[in-house]
């Protein structure tokens, strides 16, 4: 295998990437834009895994006093010599991440926040050397690095640290706060939102508002929390979201960057797959890929080029926003369910988007959930209808898969609740009553969304209906259900062994592109015979084997049976 630069899977530290020779997609243009556009307090909101933390690490490395300037050699920003001479390595920097403030109570969250501030203060212990700070200053510093910091000290802690750093270095201070909204999200989930809002508001107001020691500040987060919630009175505040044109290429990968990476790793032929699965986001005027996905895909396919694409993004979060939406859409039925079906099938819906929600409003209504899904990256926009109304779509194949997986998960929960319908369906299946199997499976299909996406490959549609059947059959006691089991000369969709009755059932599911469902059923039965899918049961001595061909189209189905 040829030697390539290592891929930075899961690495969000700019210095480590540059010093240890990892592949880096140059986003240093952000520095130039930040200084040219100038805002005293700058908030960037992007979905998770779009490079926010790495960009913050890059900003710290650039501005921090004592930085290693060689880290930026050959990068875009190094061409702007005047800017580098004026700003690189010239400022004290406070850099914290609030990602770790994840607690089940206000007291525990406050303790975690104290720890974060304390650890950052310790990073600046050099200010205790010499005589630039007097005894009172040093006592104030010590109050920040001891474990008994009171809440009054905590809310002034970052402002105090900026004042001490300015006095020591005789330079204004740059403040970087990554994942600013995590404490609010966790507080909302765990029932102490109002207390956390007050604490965060006081902390931010003190360090960001009328702070004479502040040079400028940058904050990042997934969602834009309403200004009235925690940024009250910040007139020096500039927000940049996924709707803004400024900085639209500084978070995430654009097409040329993806092509360059794929070419470097010898994966040019994978371009269309990567584009289908991980592109499709629209930030400002830029079409953007999720960098987490592209890096993981490249890394996996360096080792095994034949691997199928995966949903890498879904493993980085619990997808709570999506679960709330699907549950609400299922409960609401009607228009909300229809809109969800349209999105999964590659269509566009028009919705009003509110960017100024507070966390305790995110799930308050279906209208708010649309905005939340959009800001969290589950939807993207395909243009404005008017000032607040947008044409929304699912960005790519990965997100569509994540949505259908959540739909199937909810479907399984509902199957488990209706034991009578489950027993009736399974009885009809084991007794060979095709009309009843057809009727009851149609009833099940009406309870969930339909898949008819004209852009989806036929096997992807079949996988959805395959998943519905597995979701039903998996709850039947005494039935051993196997999916894609090797038998004969192939892999059958579903095989069921009914232990007590010594019955074997083989099911082949097909998606019908036309309305001739009967012909598709016959093809499914023929495939079972040609590939000898019943061989496994025959080897087990099973005498009664039922072979079902099931054809599905939207919410229609046809069932045909052959018995050995």
pLDDT tens, N- to C-terminus, the chain (564 residues): 457 899 999 999 999 999 999 999 999 999 999 999 999 999 999 999 999 999 999 999 999 999 999 999 999 999 999 999 999 999 999 999 999 999 999 999 999 999 999 999 999 999 999 899 999 999 999 999 987 788 999 999 999 999 999 999 999 999 999 999 999 999 998 999 999 999 999 999 999 998 999 999 999 999 887 766 788 777 788 999 999 999 999 999 999 999 999 999 999 999 999 999 999 999 999 999 999 999 999 999 998 999 999 999 876 666 778 888 887 776 655 677 888 888 988 899 999 998 888 888 888 888 888 999 999 999 999 999 998 999 999 999 999 988 888 888 888 888 888 889 999 999 999 999 999 999 999 999 888 877 776 656 777 788 889 999 999 998 888 899 999 888 777 788 899 998 776 899 999 999 998 889 999 999 999 999 999 999 989 888 888 999 999 999 888 899 999 987
Report yes or no on 250 lying in a domain: no
Q: How far is CA 335 from CA 69, 349, 371, 379, in A?
A: 56, 11, 16, 18
SS (H, E, C) 92-111: CEEEEECCCCCCCCHHHHHH
Report yes or no on 197 lying in a domain: yes
CA–CA separation, 176 and 191 (whole Å): 28
Could you tell me if 483 and 547 lie in one domain? Answer: yes
Residues 28, 72: contact at Cβ < 8 Å?
A: yes
CA–CA separation, 380 and 373 (whole Å): 9
CA–CA separation, 558 and 551 (whole Å): 5
Half-sphere exposure of 63 (CA within 13 A, CB side): 26
Q: Which residue has the tokens 């061909």?
A: 549
pTM of the model: 0.89
Residues 6+ apart with CB under 8 A from 191: none
CA–CA separation, 447 and 440 (whole Å): 11
pLDDT at 333: 58
CA–CA separation, 304 and 293 (whole Å): 16
Which helix (H) or strand (E) element contains residue 281?
A: strand 281-283
Give the gyration radius of the chain's Cα atoms: 28
Report yes or no on 408 lying in a domain: no
Report yes or no on 412 lying in a domain: no
Could you tell me if 179 and 273 lie in one domain? Answer: no
Please count the structural domains in the chain.
4
Closest CA to 220 of 179, 176, 174, 175: 179
Give the rounded percent of residues in the chain with a pLDDT score beyond 90.
69
Residues 369, 325: contact at Cβ < 8 Å?
A: yes
Beta strand pairing call for 214-221 and 237-240: unpaired
Q: What is the pLDDT of residues 116-162, one digit of tens each?
A: 999 999 999 999 998 999 999 999 999 999 877 889 999 999 999 99
Q: How far is CA 482 from CA 188, 388, 491, 542, in A?
A: 41, 49, 11, 16
Helix (H, G, I), strand (E, B) or coil at 91: strand
Strands (E), 90-229: 93-97, 173-178, 214-221
CA–CA separation, 519 and 501 (whole Å): 31
Beta strand pairing call for 380-384 and 389-393: antiparallel
Could you tell me if 530 and 460 lie in one domain? Answer: yes
CA–CA separation, 537 and 34 (whole Å): 67
Q: What is the pLDDT of residues 224-264, one digit of tens each?
A: 877 667 887 777 889 999 999 999 999 999 999 999 999 99
Could you tell me if 355 and 451 lie in one domain? Answer: no
CA–CA separation, 292 and 316 (whole Å): 10
Could you tell me if 97 and 137 lie in one domain? Answer: yes
Could you tell me if 52 and 187 lie in one domain? Answer: yes
Report yes or no on 407 lying in a domain: no
Closest CA to 281 of 310, 258, 304: 258
Helix (H, G, I), strand (E, B) or coil at 357: coil
Q: Which of 283, 310, 337 is the C-terminal boundary of a domain?
A: 310
Could you tell me if 449 and 559 lie in one domain? Answer: yes
Report yes or no on 409 lying in a domain: no
Phi and psi, residue 447, nearest 5°: -85, -5
pLDDT at 1: 47
Q: Which residue has the tokens 């990892």?
A: 22
CA–CA separation, 182 and 189 (whole Å): 11
> Could you tell me the CATH number of the domain that includes residue 541?
3.40.1350
Residues 6+ apart with CB under 8 A from 73: none
In the structure, how many helices (H) and strands (E) does the chain have?
A: 22, 15
Could you tell me if 294 and 331 lie in one domain? Answer: no
Report yes or no on 8 lying in a domain: no
Q: What's the angle, vertex CA 464, arms to CA 340 and CA 531, rounded to 5?
A: 165
CA–CA separation, 391 and 381 (whole Å): 5
Q: Which of 215, 240, 265 is the C-terminal boundary of a domain?
A: 240
Beta strand pairing call for 173-178 and 214-221: parallel
Neighbours of 433 (CB within 10 A): 15
Q: In what order do the strands lie in the sheet with 173-178?
A: 93-97, 173-178, 214-221, 41-45, 237-240
Report the DSSP beta bridge partners of residue 351: 390
Could you tell me if 356 and 279 lie in one domain? Answer: no
Q: Which residue has the tokens 């005498």?
A: 543
CA–CA separation, 482 and 358 (whole Å): 46
Neighbours of 146 (CB within 10 A): 11
Could you tell me if 360 and 214 lie in one domain? Answer: no
Helices (H), 123-150: 135-145
CA–CA separation, 390 and 385 (whole Å): 5
Q: Which domain holds residue 63?
A: 14-240
Q: Which residue has the tokens 């052959």?
A: 562
CA–CA separation, 327 and 329 (whole Å): 6
Could you tell me if 273 and 185 lie in one domain? Answer: no
Residues 6+ apart with CB under 8 A from 22: 5, 6, 7, 8, 11, 16
Report the DSSP beta bridge partners of residue 561: 548
What's the DSSP call for residue 22? B
Phi and psi, residue 505, nearest 5°: -125, 130
> Could you tell me the CATH number of the domain that includes residue 215?
3.40.50
Could you tell me if 179 and 90 lie in one domain? Answer: yes
Q: Which of 399, 431, 458 is the C-terminal boundary of a domain?
A: 399
Report yes or no on 281 lying in a domain: yes
């Amino acid at each position: 295998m040829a030697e390539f630069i290592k891929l930075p899977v899961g690495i969000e530290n700019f210095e480590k990437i540059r010093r240890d020779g990892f592949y880096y997609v140059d986003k240093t243009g952000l520095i130039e834009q930040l200084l040219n556009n100038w805002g005293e307090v700058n908030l960037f909101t992007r979905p998770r895994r779009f490079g926010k933390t790495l960009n913050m690490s890059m900003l710290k490395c650039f501005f921090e006093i004592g930085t290693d300037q060689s880290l930026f050699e050959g990068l875009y920003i190094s061409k702007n010599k005047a800017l580098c001479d004026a700003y690189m390595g010239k400022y004290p920097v406070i850099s914290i991440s609030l990602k770790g403030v994840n607690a089940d109570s206000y007291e525990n969250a406050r303790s975690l926040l104290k720890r974060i501030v304390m650890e950052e203060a310790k990073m600046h212990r050099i200010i205790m050397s010499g005589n630039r700070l007097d005894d009172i200053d040093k006592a104030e510093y010590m109050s920040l690095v001891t474990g008994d910091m009171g809440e009054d000290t905590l809310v002034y802690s970052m402002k105090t640290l900026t004042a001490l750093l300015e006095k020591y270095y005789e330079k204004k201070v740059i403040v970087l706060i990554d994942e600013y909204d995590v404490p609010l999200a966790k507080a909302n989930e765990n029932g102490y939102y109002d207390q956390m809002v007050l604490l965060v508001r006081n902390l931010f107001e003190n360090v960001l508002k009328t702070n004479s020691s502040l040079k400028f500040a940058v904050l990042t987060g997934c969602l834009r929390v309403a200004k009235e919630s925690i940024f009250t009175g910040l007139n020096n505040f500039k927000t940049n979201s996924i709707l803004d044109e400024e900085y639209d290429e500084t978070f995430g990968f654009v097409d040329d960057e993806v092509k360059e990476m794929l070419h470097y790793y010898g994966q040019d032929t994978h371009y269309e797959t990567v584009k289908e699965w991980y592109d499709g986001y629209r930030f400002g005027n830029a079409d953007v890929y999720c960098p987490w996905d592209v890096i993981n895909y490249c890394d996996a396919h360096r080792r095994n080029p034949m691997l199928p694409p995966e949903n890498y993004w879904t493993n980085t979060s619990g997808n709570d926003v999506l679960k709330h939406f699907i549950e609400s859409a299922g409960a609401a039925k009607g228009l909300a369910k229809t809109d969800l079906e349209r999105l999964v099938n590659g269509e566009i819906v028009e919705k009003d988007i509110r960017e100024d929600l507070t966390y305790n409003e995110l799930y308050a209504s279906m209208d708010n959930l649309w905005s939340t899904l959009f800001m969290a990256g589950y939807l993207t926009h395909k243009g404005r209808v008017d000032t607040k109304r947008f044409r929304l779509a699912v960005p790519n194949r990965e997100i569509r898969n994540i949505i259908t997986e959540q739909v199937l998960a909810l479907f399984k929960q509902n199957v488990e609740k209706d034991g009578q319908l489950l027993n009736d369906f399974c009885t009809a299946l084991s007794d060979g009553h095709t009309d009843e199997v057809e009727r009851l499976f149609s009833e099940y299909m009406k309870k969930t969304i339909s898949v008819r996406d004209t852009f989806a490959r036929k096997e992807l549609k079949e996988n959805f209906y395959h998943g519905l059947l597995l979701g039903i059959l998996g709850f039947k006691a005494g039935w051993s259900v196997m999916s894609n089991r090797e038998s004969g000369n192939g892999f059958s969709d579903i095989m069921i062994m009914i232990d007590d009755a010594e019955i074997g059932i083989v099911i082949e599911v097909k998606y019908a592109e036309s309305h001739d469902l009967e012909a598709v059923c016959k093809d499914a039965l023929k495939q079972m015979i040609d590939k000898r899918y019943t061989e496994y049961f025959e080897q087990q001595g099973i005498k009664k084997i039922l072979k079902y061909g099931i054809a599905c189209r939207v919410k229609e189905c046809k069932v045909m049976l052959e018995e050995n």
